[in-house]
Amino acid sequence: MKNKDEAVVVFSGGQDSTTCLLLAMEKYKKVYAVSFDYNQRHSGELACAKEICAKYNVEHTILDMGLLNQLAPNSLTRMDITVDEDAPDKGTPNSFVDGRNMVFLTFAAIYAKQKNITDIITGVSQSDFSGYPDCRDIFIKSLNTTLNLAMDYEFDIITPLMWIDKEETWALADRMGGFDVVRNMTLTCYNGIRGDGCGNCPACKLRKKGLDAYLKNKKK
Ligand code: ZN
């Protein structure tokens, strides 16, 4: 029997994965959050993830992915590499970590199967596509098939934010009563500043643009 009462959320402690956590808590009887420690530049991410899980009483596991940094050092893991302000015309931005989502989802799947869980939720989005190939729907579908074949199992990778933008993501969090938690307790900023962040990095700009649009349209 498939266990459809429980789900695993790939949880970074940012806006998108926190919104996914809220959605999962609404839909499933029990939710497990899995975070990854890959020596990210801002360990604040993991601190946020821990605090949010504690607040909602969600079982939280942090898996060590230090080898990702060893293999693919980039501007999100190394202090000596500055984050690109804008996406380059060609190729991936230097904030892209090669293989990150594939590795994270694969380990989340192994974790899920141990618990007889099939549903894995991730906050990737193709709408506000910032040049990360592993946030695209085609990649998720491909990996889902690969994981099923690899483990002879029927995983269901669920991507609630795939086709919505940041404004709609704010609306979702608000609808579930999590607006303040997402606004104040999450970390999206590439400079490691919680909540509204530094305001200047690409992640902050994208988050703020969505927030401003949401607040403006909400008033109407
Ligand atoms: Zn920032």
Question: Edge-to-edge strands of the sheet including 3-10?
Answer: 59-64, 30-37, 3-10, 117-121, 156-158
| 206 CA to centre of ligand 1 in angstroms | 10
Where exactly are the structural domains of the chain?
Answer: 3-219
| 159 CA to centre of ligand 1 in angstroms | 24
Segment 73-98, tens digit of pLDDT: 665 555 565 666 555 666 676 667 78
pTM of the prediction?
A: 0.91
d(CA 79, CA 202): 17
| 197 CA to centre of ligand 1 in angstroms | 5
| 191 CA to centre of ligand 1 in angstroms | 5
Segment 174-204, tens digit of pLDDT: 999 999 999 999 999 988 899 999 999 888 9
How, if at all, do strands 59-64 and 30-37 pair?
A: parallel
Domain 3-219: top CATH class:
alpha beta
| 76 CA to centre of ligand 1 in angstroms | 12
